[in-house]
Amino acid sequence: VKQLTTGVGGLLKSNDVTVVYGEAQMATETTILCDGKTYEAASTILCGGSKASVIPIPGVESKNVLLSTEMLQLDVLPKSLIVIGGGVIGCEMAVAFNSFGSKVTIIEALDRIAATMDGEVSDAMLKSLKKSGIDIHVSQKVERIEDLSDGQVAVHFGDGKSVTGDKVLLSIGRVCELECLGSLKDSIRTERGKVVV
């Protein structure tokens, strides 16, 4: 990452691009506020990025429930990890932590993992994940998450079953980060949380 960011930084500098570090938001169509300073621009490209999506599951506020960015900041490997969401990021994290030695369980609400991919790809991934020792539960809706007295966390399904682990990764997709719109948030047209272009 350092090599990539240093390379991009070098390209920006050699092309006389001024880089300002900070949290930026639109104030008007031609004015940007960043850490107390104002910048004028005839045109602006919005590059707010994305953030992990969170759904209102009872217990999701537990300190044992983490998003993908927080998972990468752990300094202690969980002995067991429950991944809510069998999409691309959920499967990627499951494989990584399984390789590190965690006992991993994936819970997916749809009838197959990696549901946005072709069925044959999804089937091949399922076989590979199971072969590596990852437990997978499909067609399971998570009803609630519960902190247990022994420090573990339980994830309860709609059918009454549950699984327990040290940590839970909530990986149900990503949504657009629209804070960069600032005061224009209400005047710029959006659909389903995305800017219409």
pLDDT digits (tens, 9 = 90+) for 82-98: 999 999 999 999 999 99
pLDDT band at 63 (very low <50, low <70, confident <90, very high): very high
pLDDT for position 85: 96
38: β partners = 33
d(CA 78, CA 6): 32
What predicted TM-score, i.e. pTM, was given to this entire model?
Answer: 0.82
What's the mean pLDDT in 55-76?
93
Quote the percentage of the chain above a pLDDT of 70.
100
> Tokens 């217990």, residue?
59
pLDDT digits (tens, 9 = 90+) for 92-116: 999 999 999 999 999 999 999 999 9
Joined together, the tokens standing for residue 131 give 């072969």
Containing H/E element for 10?
Answer: helix 2-14
Joined together, the tokens standing for residue 196 give 């219409």
Q: State the alpha helices, DSSP H only, in 82-184.
A: 88-100, 119-131
Close Cβ partners of 113 (under 8 Å, ≥ 6 residues apart): 86, 87, 90, 91, 106, 122, 125, 126, 129, 136, 138
d(CA 40, CA 28): 9
> Tokens 């437990």, residue?
135
3-state class of 6 per DSSP?
A: helix
Residue 22's Cβ-count burial label (10 Å; 0-12, 13-18, 19+) is exposed
**CA triple 57-53-34, angle to 5 deg:** 130
pLDDT for position 32: 96
